[in-house]
Every structure is written in C-alpha cells, then in structure tokens.
Structure 1
C-alpha cells in the first residue's frame, strides 16, 4: 500500500480532552480575530489581509471540530457522547459570538467595498461572510434588540443539541411473543433481545430502523404493527416542548431581523429564494399526486379486504398507517411476484459494498484501498491502529485517483454500518474533515463517514440488504464520494456543503443505478455461494426442497423488481410532502400568536391524514393528538429547517441530470468523469444553479421528474 501524504485522524478523545480541545480551537480562532481587529484599519482592509486570514483559521478549526462533535453520534461511551455534545455547544456559541463582532464586520464590510477582482470561490466567500454578519444580528442597532437576538441564538443552539441528544439516547421498544412476531425473518428475530423473568419466552422489538421497518413490512399480526407505529411516533415525546420553543424562538429572531417569518429568512439563501416559490412547487406537486394516491390507496384497501376474507374475519373498510408497509409488501408478492426477503439473499452487505466501490472506480476514476490489520498500525501516528477508528466494527479506506486520473491521494472513507447503543439511528453521511487549501498552498485532504444500522452478520448468515436498504447505502455512499472528490479552496464550501435544496441531488441521481439491470446483476451474489457454512444455513432454511440458487440474481427477478419502482409511489411522495409542508407550516406562521396557539402534534397528524387519506387512531376516538411525530423530526433541528422541501426540489435536478446524461449508458466513464469534475468537484464553491447549467448546457427542467413519477398536469 502506498503511504498517503496525510495521516488519518485519531479517535482517541476522552471526556476531558474533547472539551479541552474544543476550547483550545476556539481560543486559537478568537486570537486570530483579535489580532486582525488590532492590526488592520477598515480603510486598509482587503481580501488578502482580512478574509484570507479568517478563512485560513476557519479551515484549521473545521479540520478538527467536526470530529470532536462526531463522538456524540457514534461513541458507545455515554461520557464521550456528553462531552462531544458540550463541544458542539461551545463551537455553536463561539460561531454566534464571531458573527456578532461588529469590529470584524466593519473589516469585512470594508473589504467588500474595495470591489477587488477575485476568483469565483473567493468572491463567493467574501459575499457570504458579509451576509452572515447581517443575517446574524449586525443589521440591528446595538442595544436590547441585538442582545435579545444573541440570547435567542444561544438558546436555540442548546435546544437543538438537546433534541438530537434525546434522539440518540432513545431506547424504546416492547416485548412480544414469537407468535406476535410471525412473518419477520429469522435474521431479525435472532438479533432481538431474549426476555427473562416476567418476559421469559418473549423477544424485545426496538424502534430502531433495522428492527422497526422489517416489523412494519412483514409482521402478520396487525396489533404488533400498530404497536410499532405508535411506539415510533411517540418515542421522543420529551422533545415536544423543545420543538415548540425552537419554532417560537426562530420566528421571533426572524422578525427581529425584519423578515415576516423564519422561512423567508432561511430560503433567501437557497436555490428557491422565496417561500412563495417553495409553496407553489409543493402545492403543484400535491395536486398532481392526489388522484394517484387515492387510486393506490383503494388498491391496498382491496388487498386488505381479500386478506381478511381469506381468514374469515370481518373487515370494517378501515386502512391504517400500520397497514401501509405490510399490504404494500403483500401487493409486491401477489401482483409482481416479488419476495423482498428472497431478494435480500442476493445482496450480502460486504459484497454489495465491494460492487458499489467498483462502480465508483469505473465512473469517476477512483481507487479504494482498505486499511486494516497491521496497515493501521503503520499509518497511525501513535503506532496504535485502534485509534484510527472509533469502534472495532468500522472499516477504513484510503481513496486515490486511479492511474489515468493521476494517482493522487483524495482522502479517507469510513464505513460504520451496524447498530449499537447510543449510535445515531438514521442512515447518514458525516464529513469528519473537510478538504481545503492550506495557507502554504498544500492540500488538506477530507475524511468522510457512512453511519448506518444494518443487521449485523452472524456465523450462519451475513448481513443481507433488502433492495430499499441497497438504495439507501448507495445514496449515502454517494454523499461520501461527493466529499472525497470535491476540491475547494475553503472548508465551508467543501463537498456536500451546498445549499440544502441542491445538496441531495448528487446522491438522488446515483440511486438510479440501483434500478439498472446491469448494475443490480453486478452487485448481486447469493450468500449461499460465499462459504460452505452459509450454504448449509441456506439448505437448512429451504428444508432441502429447492435447488441451490444461482450465484447472481436472475434476470427475470431483476425485471420484476424494476417494474415495482413506483408502485405506491404517489403515497410515498405524499408522505415526503407531509414533512415538507409541515416544515413550512411551522416556520411560516401568520403571526407569533398563531404559532403559539398551534397544536403542532395535531397539525402534524391532520396533515398526514389530509394528504394520504390513511386512517390513524383518530378514527378510533383518540383525536389527532395520538402521536407526536414532530418530537422525532430531527432534520429541522439540523440544516433542514424550512428546507425539508429540498428532498423533492433537488430530485428535479437529479432526474434531469440522469435522464439527460446517464440514462442511455449509466456506466459511461467519460460522462462519469465529466460529472465528477463538473458537479461533484465544485461543492458549494459557486452558485449551484450555475453548476447545473454549466453541466447540462441549459436551464434545468422538471419534465424528467414528472415523467419519472408519471404525474399529469394538476387539475385546473
């Protein structure tokens, strides 16, 4: 293995060192700021003597701060998680302090006024830094109003961290008998905690995705599925008052700055620019999806009716939230001959990862070298290879350009793929170290981590991916590749650090490969072919009544699977629409008083019912306050506040790019390189619309998006 020019970061933090390191980083940054204020007068301020030193210091800060805040999402040690959350709070408070330093703003304002001839990314940096000061209180006159704004920002920082912390420590679930879990695969069942004492003979089903989703899809007992659904919707109820307070404080802060609401404040900096653009887009989509959603629901109701009649049970015509995943699965089995659990046998996790990395190697000119065993000891500055990862399950890769692309080093990729206590439960990509250009002109290389919770392998069976999990893995890995191949001057624009309503597009575009026959074939390998032990496991499951499966997934199964891509697609998109509209609703109230009066749990549940027409416990006499899904809506506590619509908005760009450039030949390496350098490498270093237009050679169009979903024009 060629030795990378930059050693991997170490994950040897302690509860004491994490907080101490955060304080030291902040103090170093504050020292740079103080020196600038003392050394440079506004009339002498330029990009070179003000903005560049600030950018260099910010780059150095982010090279370490992301990791200090990462422990809270992945460390098995609660003390490290708490220390990491404290480090995040310190960084957030310092960020607020920095953008409210008027003497710094005067220097940045003066530098902007010089109107120097700067290259694109540096000009982007100067403009965005200037706006940051104005958008964080410095347009307010010094005094009580500005002080109140600063107070709000610090309170918001603390509340959002508390919200996420509650999500991470949540460990809800319930005990169930094997009969109540009938239908769920043996792989999932074997992963469940076995009861003792009063729970002897029972198994504990948690609300973590790797348990929850299979239970909702396959558990035959409707009461079990109901308990899963209601448990998940209420698993973070301690976040309900936090959510409400955050919405009220954001609204107050936006109004202090002169905006009518928080949505106007946030969307101003995104591709959509105004809430009106977002609301028009969402309403248009709502109208287009309405009839399709109703048709899909009626088909599912008929399936439920037939199921009840086959068991001679009375059917009352109701179709509940906890019925949707189950009867969608029944539909796939009965009408499309799709058995998701059989398909999963063709996608062992590790072989799927290997296949995905080969695709990225081919398309983008990359090379992945796994660093394990003694290689870790050789690379670790401490000589202790265990310090290169935060948990023994984590895989580490050095990523390079291939020979044709010059053979240069790109960065480090981490895969943390299995569940454990205290770990962030939703599949996600985390940038651990951004890439940037150092002050001496050398490059600081990025590190990026995939954090997922797939079922852990056993001696008898590897971790097997359902097709939806395969798509998720490819999506999140796409974010990681975006991080690795990006090449920006400044950390703040690196990789996925684009505006939110474009940021999902690159990974959404890559999802199409998981619906391409040749790709599915290349990724597949039946687990029984991996080892004699696995073959014996498979034979035991099949009771010897089936022939040994082919090594790769059969073409007829692939074709059936692809036909199901948009089965119940309108209902799925209506669910995304619910999150998007709710996000806008709570961030765009008519008045502070209206927001104060709003029962957010009721609005959350009513909106889902209005859009999807699927029953919840409200039809059983429990009212609309039966669940509190907003308590688990972590996206809007991060960067997706007044931004969840971005998942739909960015899909427009993703579909346009795929259908225009890759649909004819998804493995076209020439176009893959053009996409790498034209889209991914740019990060957020220039206006994202310019990036898309330069790549497509025209304005982006929603036609492919609507065509893909088979959506008609909305009714007049």
Structure 2
C-alpha cells in the first residue's frame, strides 16, 4: 500500500518511505492527466465552471504529493531523495508543459476568456480567468509546433540544472569543516558558540571544536573570533561554494541557466527573461526596477561610504588594520556597535529563549488577528524536532494546521522559509483549511542551555511567521489565488511588516524574558535595539541592492557573450562595491535564491516590499501597534485576499493611498543629510 496514494488529511510522514515517492508522483500525474482529458473532451460548450474552475481544481492529489516530496527534499533530504528529485523533476516539468501546450485545453480556456465581458464575473473569478489565460500564453500556447518542442526541451533542461545547482551548493556546505583543537585560537568567541562547536565535534566523533558553514556556526565565528587568519579562512570557504575546481563547480551551470532562460524568453516573444518575469509583477519592467534601485542607491550610497570609512578607521585605531577586508566586516561592526550602543548580541540572547519567542509570536497574532495556537501531539511529523499546532480563531472556528521546524540538521538546507502542505480553497460549500509550515535553522539547545536566539534570529522567526499568517488566514475560493499565491514583489509584505513588532517595547514586553530569572528585557536594551536598528543601514541597503542589481544584470541582458562569471559579477557590483574583491570568491555560484529558488529577476522584491512594509507599518504606528481597526483592515484586504486582485488595488484599499519610499528611508535613518 502506498500511503501517498491513499486519502489523507495531514501528511502521513511516518508511513512514507523513499521508494513510495516516484510511483506516487507518476500515478498522480496520470490521475491529473485524466482530469484534464475530461475537461478537454467535454462535449458541452466551454463555460467558466466546466473549464476555468475545473482546471483550477485539477491535479489536487499531485499537488499534495509533490508538496510533501519537495518540502522534505529541502528540510529532511538524503541521497535517495535527491536521486528521486533528479528523476521526477523532468517528469513534472514535462507534465506542466503537457497542460500549457495542450491545444484542446487552450482552445476552451481561450473561448471562456474571449467571452468574459458577457459573463458577469466577480473580481476573483475575473482574476482566475485572466491568470489562467496568461499562464497558457506566457508558457507557449500560441507557439508553433516546432517551437513548442523547443520550449519543452528548455524547460526540462532548466529544471535539472537548478536542482544540480542546489545539490552542489549543499555538498560544498557540507564538505567544509574547520576543526580546532586549541581553545586559545577561539579567543573572543562566546561560550554558547563554543559549546555548540563542541557538540558538532562530538557528533562527528572528534575532539575539540568543529565549525561548519551552516549559519548558526558560521555567523558567530566571523563575528567574534579574534584570530583574523581563521576568520579569513572561514569567510573564503563560504564565498567559494560552487567556485572551486572540483565536481561541484557551478560556473557552467550558471551560464547554461541564464542562456536557457534568455532563449526561452525570446522564444515567447520577450526581450529578456526579466521582461518576461516582470510583466506579471508590481514592478512591471526591468527599467522600472533599475530606476527604483538607482533611486535607493543614490540615497543610501553616501551613508554607506560614510559608515564604511568609519568602520575602517575604527579597525585601524583598534588593531592597526590597514585595509578592511570582507572577513573583518562583521567582527569590527559588532565591536563598534558595542562601543556606540553598549549593546552586545550575547547580552540579549538570554532574553530570547526560543519557546518564549514562539509564545510571543502567537500572542501578537492573537491580539491582532484573534488567533489561538494549540500544540497537538497526534499529527504525524517528518522529524522529532518538528512541532505541530492546530490554529483556531476566538470563535473556535478551525483556521489551519501549523508545522514548525527550528534547528539545523544534516539533511536540511540553510536559511529559513515558509511553505505549505495543503492550500486553502472552497469547494462544494466547504472551506478547506490550509496546512502551513515554517522551517528555520536556529541554534540548538545544549546540555546546559535552552535554545537562545540572537536578535537576528528573532526577526527571522517573525519574518517567516508573517508568511505563515498569509497562508493561514487565506480565504479565497480558488487554490491558485490562495494565500501566498500573489505577485512575487508583494509576497514579502506580510512577512516583512511582521518583523516591525520585534522592535516595539509593547510587543517585546510580551515575550522577551530572561530564561533564568523571568525578568522582562530592560527598557535600556529595547532603546538600544531600536537605536541600533538603523546601524550600518546604508551598507546593508547597498548590499541588498547589489544582489538585486546582479540578478537584474544576469536576466535583463543577452548573456550569450559572457565567458567569465567572475568578471561579469565584478562589473555588476561596480557601483555598490565597498570591500576589496576576494579573487577566489564568487557570489553567483551559490546565489541559490536566483538559480535554485524562484527569485530570478525578482531579488529586488525584498527592497520593494520593504517600501511597502515601512509605509504600512507607519499606519499601525499612527493608530497603535495593536489597533484592531488597522489589523482588521490588513487582515481583510491583504492577508485573506491572496492573489484575488491586483496587489496595488489591495494595498490602496488597506492604506488609502500608494506607498512612498519616505517611510523606509526615515526608518533606515537615510533621510538625514549630515
């Protein structure tokens, strides 16, 4: 019996074995094809119900199975799962093409689309129909037979390349370790980070301390270790992932990906991959994105240069450093921050015990959106670290299932993300509620201490939880418009706005309590957190913009002449560069967001959404951060609406006007002209 092919409500993790995946996916593809055939062969004339709606609900089983598989490939993978991913990814991209290139199906969709003015559809129905029609047109439905075949080949190739890219980055991350026997070499490193490194060493059957490129191990190392040579070794190792002369080198993969994306866009009648992608985003064109980036760059650069020079002088005064290098940045910034604000990440950590922060996030969600989270132990999970919750509103209506997975493991990729195992939708008058998950990589508890978070980790948890709220509070009819299925430069608004509560005394008082004494975080620390929030904001902004610009350069120009990734990258970074270049490092070869995740021609959207979130949070600040009226407007116009209307319309309905970058510049301290 294949558990994936039985009917299930929550994912039956404990019953699934790796060998179940491929047959289940193949079987579900056949099922979905049969559903599509039924739509195509329907003898009645195409209507909104028998075509548009039927197509939106087709393939539900396949979606459930693939979401389980790919979520685990990111959070709990192994060699076997990775091999299966290599096999099923081309099958799935082939299946997607079978749909978009199915002429009979497109003819029906087009017929409904062309009669839309006479159908009296609601805004949500109109959106579904337009999205569907464009989905076909933008993926080759209007191409000649010969070009359709070309498109299929490109898509199959691209899906393999991006998987390979990600596997190489993971392999490089896992391959490096810094093994240190003499504790003296770790001068400056906090006890908690040493303890964590001892645990890693123990797990690997070694004496002493082991550090890896996983963030909870890497970040404290480059931030605190006094030994400059060791910091250099660590930073160079992190920067050369995918850029070494070995089997995991990603240089050709990157060039192949950008060339294929460009070729695909041209085939579909677009000037570049970025023109293709942005047509469906709030930003609309690469020109608009570059204009937006350059406007922020102009405002941020003077501040960034000033901050960089201050940091360089500080390092020189302190340790006689003649030239500030990349492996010095975090180290001296932390020291300078401590001197300026008398604030040390380590002082704050005791106030951020993971369990308390989770409680805090839940309480804030309750105050704003009337949600209650109840931990349950009868829901199947894929690893014992995962926590499971049922979510209700204050009227006891069931809202969602919520999974949370907080600590690093060998089979888990770096970073933090939100995902879902089941979308929300309404069918046969039943509102099917979503199953939402967040995955993070926070410091593990040790023998003597619970998991204590850095303030950065706190904001990460709030960020991912903001995405989760967008998924949980979804309330739309159609799957493809539900929850986080919104335009990519809008999707970061719910996550980024939620981070703002981390900086507010009223919110911190709810959960920032010392793990030993229970004492609430002192006001002076809160003031310092707020003051230091815009510390080095100019440099941070430049860094974010540099990634967005690099992404745009890769995807808005013809890449056929590019031979050296490194040279191309240096040229893209010229206006945002602060540190000297490191010859053996390269950003693009491990830039997973754009070569493995879905952020190609979309990295700018982090900054774009920051403009939205600063503007939106200003509304909360005017009325009170727990103001019910503003929270309800945000919930009803943004969190519950998914992609049912154009983002700017939803935003204006919430805010009463379009956003301006002023709130962001003010928050970042970049409006001051001194």
| Match of residue 532 from structure 2 | 564
| Match of residue 433 from structure 2 | 445
Distance of 1:641 and 1:86 partners within structure 2? 23
| Equivalent residue for 1:509, pick from 497, 500, 503 | 497
| Match of residue 589 from structure 2 | 631
Offset, 1:582: 0.2
Offset, 1:84: 4.7
Offset, 1:707: 2.0
Q: Give the RMSD, CA atoms, in angstroms.
A: 2.2
Structure 2 CA distance for partners of 1:360 and 1:675, relative to 1, 3 Å: same
Offset, 1:585: 0.2
Distance of 1:19 and 1:114 partners within structure 2? 40
For 1:144-223, list aligned pairs within 5 A: 145-169=147-171, 170-171=173-174, 172-176=176-180, 177-192=182-197, 202-223=208-229
| Equivalent residue for 2:402, pick from 402, 406, 413 | 413
| Match of residue 539 from structure 1 | none
Matched, 1:285 2:296: yes
Offset, 1:80: 3.4
Structure 2 CA distance for partners of 1:112 and 1:609, relative to 1, 3 Å: closer
User: For the Cα contact (< 8 Å) 1:475–1:510, is it kept in 2?
Assistant: yes
Offset, 1:710: 3.2
Structure 2 CA distance for partners of 1:182 and 1:76, relative to 1, 3 Å: farther
Q: How does the TM-score come out when normalised to structure 1?
A: 0.88
| Match of residue 593 from structure 1 | 560
Distance of 1:73 and 1:631 partners within structure 2? 19
Offset, 1:712: 4.5
| Equivalent residue for 1:576, pick from 541, 544, 555 | 544
Q: Secondary structure at the match of 1:272?
A: coil
| Equivalent residue for 2:230, pick from 218, 224, 245 | 224
Q: Deviations over 1:556-596 (max 9, x none)?
A: 1111221101110010111101110000000011x3433x3
| Match of residue 496 from structure 1 | 484
Distance of 1:222 and 1:489 partners within structure 2? 57
Q: Which moved more, 1:330-339 or 1:158-167?
A: 158-167
User: For the Cα contact (< 8 Å) 2:89–2:160, is it kept in 1?
Assistant: no
Q: Which moved more, 1:413-422 or 1:186-195?
A: 186-195
Q: Deviations over 1:455-481 (max 9, x none)?
A: 111231011111111111111111111
Q: Deviations over 1:465-505 (max 9, x none)?
A: 11111111111111111110111112222211111111101
| Match of residue 5 from structure 2 | none
Offset, 1:21: 1.4
Q: Deviations over 1:3-31 (max 9, x none)?
A: xxx94322132122111111121111100
Q: Deviations over 1:141-172 (max 9, x none)?
A: 222x3211221011111111222233344402
| Match of residue 676 from structure 1 | 635
Distance of 2:444 and 2:488 partners within structure 1? 32
Matched, 1:520 2:520: no
Q: Which moved more, 1:295-304 or 1:692-701?
A: 692-701
Q: Secondary structure at the match of 2:560?
A: helix
Matched, 1:75 2:80: no
| Equivalent residue for 1:128, pick from 112, 131, 141 | 131
| Match of residue 655 from structure 1 | 614
Matched, 1:344 2:333: no
Q: Secondary structure at the match of 1:48?
A: helix
| Match of residue 395 from structure 1 | 387
Structure 2 CA distance for partners of 1:50 and 1:450, relative to 1, 3 Å: same
User: For the Cα contact (< 8 Å) 1:14–1:80, is it kept in 2?
Assistant: no
Q: Deviations over 1:374-433 (max 9, x none)?
A: xx1xxx5xxxxxxx1000010000011112xxx211111111001100202111111221
User: For the Cα contact (< 8 Å) 1:478–1:510, is it kept in 2?
Assistant: yes
Structure 2 CA distance for partners of 1:200 and 1:492, relative to 1, 3 Å: closer
| Match of residue 4 from structure 2 | none
Distance of 1:663 and 1:228 partners within structure 2? 45
Q: Secondary structure at the match of 1:303?
A: helix
Identify unmatched segments of 5+ residues in structure 1: 1-5, 309-313, 381-387, 531-550
| Match of residue 118 from structure 1 | 121
Matched, 1:329 2:354: no
| Match of residue 33 from structure 1 | 36
User: For the Cα contact (< 8 Å) 2:620–2:626, is it kept in 1?
Assistant: no
| Match of residue 546 from structure 1 | none
Structure 2 CA distance for partners of 1:522 and 1:339, relative to 1, 3 Å: same
Distance of 2:194 and 2:161 partners within structure 1? 37
Structure 2 CA distance for partners of 1:187 and 1:40, relative to 1, 3 Å: farther
Q: Secondary structure at the match of 1:612?
A: coil
Distance of 1:69 and 1:602 partners within structure 2? 34
Q: Secondary structure at the match of 1:415?
A: strand
User: For the Cα contact (< 8 Å) 1:173–1:231, is it kept in 2?
Assistant: no
How many residue pairs were aligned? 653
Q: Which moved more, 1:477-486 or 1:167-176?
A: 167-176
Distance of 1:414 and 1:592 partners within structure 2? 41
| Match of residue 286 from structure 2 | 275
Offset, 1:674: 2.2
User: For the Cα contact (< 8 Å) 1:437–1:444, is it kept in 2?
Assistant: yes
Matched, 1:241 2:252: yes
User: For the Cα contact (< 8 Å) 2:351–2:515, is it kept in 1?
Assistant: yes
Distance of 1:628 and 1:635 partners within structure 2? 15
Q: How does the TM-score come out when normalised to structure 2?
A: 0.93
User: For the Cα contact (< 8 Å) 2:502–2:508, is it kept in 1?
Assistant: yes
Structure 2 CA distance for partners of 1:195 and 1:57, relative to 1, 3 Å: closer
Structure 2 CA distance for partners of 1:458 and 1:663, relative to 1, 3 Å: farther
Offset, 1:178: 2.4
Distance of 1:297 and 1:511 partners within structure 2? 26
User: For the Cα contact (< 8 Å) 2:423–2:433, is it kept in 1?
Assistant: yes
Distance of 2:342 and 2:673 partners within structure 1? 33
Offset, 1:60: 4.4
| Match of residue 548 from structure 1 | none
